[in-house]
Amino acid sequence: MFLPNNIMVTGGAGFIGSNFIHYLFNNPDFQGRVINVDSLTYAGNLENLTEIAASVGEKRYFFEKADICDGELMEALFKKYEVDAVIHFAAESHVDRSIYGPQEFIRTNIMGTFALLEASRKSWAGRKDVLFHYVSTDEVYGSLGETGYFYEDTSFDPRSPYSASKASAEHLVKSYFHTYGLPVTVSNCSNNYGPYHFPEKLIPLMVANAMEAKPLPIYGDGKNVRDWLYVEDHCTAISAIVNRGVRGEVYNIGGESEKNNLEVVHTICEVLEELYPLKDNPVVKEVSPGLGAYEELVTFVKDRPGHDRRYAVNCDKIKKELGWSPGTDFPSGLRKTIQWYIDNPGWVENIRSGEYKKWLEKNYDSR
């Protein structure tokens, strides 16, 4: 079993990265240090880690505001902290934004990964007691019909600049294993949801909008299907791969909870009515006093270009080889997620009134 001492988590102030850092420090088996490397773009939020910074202290948790594309700086951080594992989450990740502004996706997702790989190769110089883990996505595989699944050996067929950039970076990571012998593992996950999720993605956007009596926009006919993975389950899967996974191998991680977008939104509305009824919502009373149900906010909008119809991953490999399986079903995971947003309105407000709001006004309000 591989138990790293100094883990560099890239994108650690983001959604999945911050949840992974919480997971590490809540795991008594982990006694090492975490170096959180994040450039704090609009989606990075150090509020996600306030509790960790306060409870763990300066001897085990470190934050470095840094751009992963800066190869010299990455090499310096490897040396400074004696890094022996990289968990690479950092990425531009929203498909919509990649359609309207692909350049940053190419820079961060491809060139940033390249810079990290080079820093790893040079710093570790042939060591085998180290690991570079790349967190990829099921979107690299393309789109499915009504049946079938993505497997680890499914051919890549990315349909957006985002998924194309992730596929390119994944090829680079695999090439460094075959060419240089760099110890790597790769995971391809399905759609994550849970606490600290930036409110541009489907579930947090719908929860936040509904609580503010704003429209709930659904692309096309709402029948696009995704497999939903609770973020804590994703963290346990990554931990299993890092500790016990075979170097050079790819592992699919899925929640085994396929839902179409319309079904997800209707379920959000039902759970919200139970946990935060309209009659008790002061914003709704003020903004839309005649609203009778959250579902009345549902609005269908023009479908986005290249919108993949269905994703679904087969995760038999990680189950059989590493003994992992998702521990949270969608109804309970969604309930916990919605309750978190209800309990943390200040977090949502801070996000929505910051850099994201400026970007949204500039790029979307006129569309």
List the catalytic residues.
138-139, 162
Residues 290, 134: Cα–Cα separation, whole Å: 49
Count, in order, helices (H) and strands (E) of the chain.
15, 12
Structure tokens at 114: 């390249």
For the sheet with 184-189, list strands across it.
Answer: 61-65, 33-38, 6-10, 85-88, 131-137, 184-189, 250-253
Structure tokens at 235: 């963290």
Nearest to 363 by CA among 9, 59, 41, 98: 98
Residues 267, 274: Cα–Cα separation, whole Å: 11
Residue 230's CB: how many other CB atoms inside 10 A? 24
List 307's β-bridge partners, or say none: none
Structure tokens at 37: 């490397």
Sign for the pseudo-dihedral over CA of 245, 246, 248, 254:
negative
Q: Looking at residue 14, what DSSP letter applies?
A: S
Question: Would you mind telling me the total number of residues written for the chain in this entry?
Answer: 367
Residues 348, 235: Cα–Cα separation, whole Å: 23
